[in-house]
Structure 1
């Protein structure tokens, strides 16, 4: 799934940044902890140490000396199972995988999968449509009948149910829904309409995400913030801090608005299909919204459409950032990028409560989807089981929890080649009150 913050907030306009050496706080609950690390091609780990208290920061000159010291006879910390276990506990993961060897290719992983996981089953595909249509209708009924104090529960259910429509359209876009490709285009377009998502523009952007996962500049999903962009203006800096902090779970709205309606961002051979999708979306707005307002009023439009739509974007943003954002997962330049490492080692499997998994058609069983988008959603669990058996020690796995979310929202901010990310409150401490607020109020338990 691809959802990203507004491209205008992320795109690098100038050269790489320079800044003082910073040690990123990665410990959320413990008083003293290792800093972030980045596995380089030479197998060395670059990391720093920092005490939680600002008064006890190691002086800069000492940090420089520490980083200059290397003991070749000792294994890099990432090679230590105990160290990876400590990082997993700190970040909210169940497992942080070993680095994938450079000689492993994506084809090696794909060929290890059983052939049956690639088979399209029309009965299972239409069963997913029935589940989504039924659960969405039930959600609308709940909204119509629920007293005001139960409306948040009804909205949560309905927003999650309509996310299932997105997953169906997502399978259609990857040509893994039906053996009939015309049926896929029709179903995909219709499934996206309640979300006001243009199917073809999203499909073209999403294909780039799969081709360039965790590649700097080229990936169309979550990207780290660039330092020079962050420093370009006070207004943009504040917008980025709030967007990647308290409002990060709805940042896909910015991506939806910026990335899918501008014809200039598509290739000439894509324009015709893009225009058809846009026409369908605008027709739905022109007919559907007035009809909702006519029947239920403005408040009805808010209750029946807007609030479930915001619920959908909560999952759209959350799923995507959990799948591809962690302090130990690097973004790499195209020259350094390795497809197998990005798709197997750089994608996170995250287990959610069962009702969410059912309504969202197992889209969070995400590693096999990045190994091959041709695997239908109803075969993802079987594919994941095979990957665990053959490549289990390389996988990043978690169950959705507060510590995981806190790590992403308070740590994974500004791009740094050595540390992967630097937190906003390291780069701009005076302006990062929203981040310090999140660190204070978000619980640490996994």
Structure 2
């Protein structure tokens, strides 16, 4: 398998045998990977509720000089809420869709994240992972597109493809999830409901925070943990599919088996992050099948390593990795995968 713990010479992912299909890869996984376990699902939710509650207690009790640590912990625990909602969105939390929708909406509320708009756009990402002009999860600009877009769009793109990658999730959240016109007519009622629900939640929760603790109370209990949550969302998302040697494909060249298996990155984070975030960064099996619950991802990954190990891209989170991505993965080039901004013609 391709393993990266620090910058290395780029090498394109290996090509699968021509008769390999996504279904044939799925068939190599143990059936237990797809089994929903209500005890594990609900205990995972309870774990996140307790973790987030402890985070807010730590914020309330911490002296000013310990607040950054409390914010980091709480924001990371809130990311665990997102992963629970992520399972709900893929219908892998429960066999009953009304439970998936209910739990998904509840855990997304403190994140001010509309459940249905995210679910619908995220499903599209899974259908078109690493497909140019289709994938909506941080697809790269070509030089032609970069020159065509408006100046403010170029500025935003340069920020999130450079050292401010950690803002990308906020821009993605604001642009995609509150505008019903971006969705087909049949989906708009769900989009409006979810967006309206989080707006109503914010309209109630934010004034109460300010009433109880002033503006600093809002900053302390919402804004700073929320920014940490978006730091992880930005980092996880860009690392999942962005490396200097992982290509995006045109519609004609794209292949589901090849580009889901070899275009997805497995990244190991510190154990406390993995625990609080329910191992969502064991990400390759999730792109082989969204039906695998988060608590079965490591089991599925071990199976993929045994059967498809030569094709897996594995790495470890560190600042060298993020520097490599943010320094090299700027403008998409079909021949070399990426060019830097300073290499534009």
TM-score, with length taken from structure 2: 0.95
- Residue of structure 1 equivalent to 2:262: 345
Deviations 1:275-302 (A, max 9, x none): 2112211110111111111111110100
Structure-1 separation of matches of 2:152 and 2:82: 33
Query: May I ask how many residue pairs the two structures share in their alignment?
Result: 344
Q: Deviations over 1:400-435 (max 9, x none)?
A: 12221111100001011101110112227xxxxxxx
Is 1:172 the counterpart of 2:88? The answer is yes
Of 81, 104, 110 in structure 1, the residue corresponding to residue 26 of structure 2 is: 110
1:71-113 deviation per Cα after TM superposition (whole angstroms, max 9, x unaligned) = xxxxxxxxxx9xx78x8753499x9853323321111110100
How many Å separate the matches in 1 of 2:200 and 2:153? Answer: 34
Distance in 1 (alpha carbons) for counterparts of 2:12 and 2:275: 26
Residues 1:342 and 1:143: Cα distance change in structure 2 (over 3 Å) = same
Q: CA RMSD in A?
A: 1.9
Correspondent of 1:155 among 71, 89, 95 = 71
CA distance in 1, matches of 2:245, 2:199: 41
SS of alignment partner, residue 269 of structure 1: helix
Q: 1:269 aligns with which of 180, 183, 186?
A: 186
* 2:99 paired residue number: 183
Match of 1:121 in 2: 37
Structure ID, larger Rg: 1
User: Which of 390, 409, 416 matches 2:326?
Assistant: 409
Match of 1:389 in 2: 306
Instruction: Please point out which of 127, 134, 144 is paired with 1:211.
Output: 127
Which moves more between the two structures, 235-244 or 399-408? 235-244
2:125 and 2:137 in contact (8 A); partners too: yes
* C-alpha distance in 1 between matches for 2:240 and 2:46: 27
- In the superposition, relative to structure 1, how do residues 420 and 88 fare at CA in structure 2: closer, same or farther (>3 Å)? farther
Residues 1:304 and 2:200 are matched in the alignment: no
Q: 3-state DSSP class of the match of 2:7?
A: helix
Q: How does 1:55-70 map to 2 (within 5 A)?
A: none
Q: Is the 8 A contact 1:92 1:403 kept in 2?
A: no
Deviates further, 173-182 or 210-219: 173-182
Q: Which runs of 5+ in 2 are unaligned?
A: none
Q: Greater relative contact order: 1 or 2 (C-alpha under 8 angstroms, separation 6 or more)?
A: 2
1:209 and 1:220 in contact (8 A); partners too: yes
2:314 is paired with a residue whose SS is strand
Which residue in 2 is equivalent to 1:139?
Answer: 55
Matched position secondary structure for 1:156:
helix
Q: Matches of residues 253-402 of structure 1 in structure 2 within 5 Å? A: 253-402=170-319
Q: Alpha-carbon deviations, 1:347-378, whole Å to 9, x = none? A: 00001111111100010000000000000000
CA offsets, 1:35-84, max 9 Å, x none?
Answer: xxxxxxxxxxxxxxxxxxxxxxxxxxxxxxxxxxxxxxxxxxxxxx9xx7
Structure 1: which 5+ runs fail to align?
A: 1-80, 429-446
Matches of 1:221 and 1:240, distance apart in 2: 13
Partner of 1:244: 161
Aligned-partner Cα distance in 2 for 1:342–1:223: 14
Bigger helix share: 2
For 1:177 and 1:235, how far apart are their aligned partners in 2? Answer: 39
Q: Is the 8 A contact 2:30 2:300 kept in 1?
A: yes
Determine if contact 2:13/2:245 at 8 Å carries over to the other structure.
no
Q: TM-score, normalised by structure 1?
A: 0.74
The separation in 1 between residues aligned to 2:5 and 2:77, in whole angstroms, is 31
Looking at structure 1, the residues matched to 95 and 155 of structure 2 have their Cα atoms a distance apart, in angstroms, of: 48
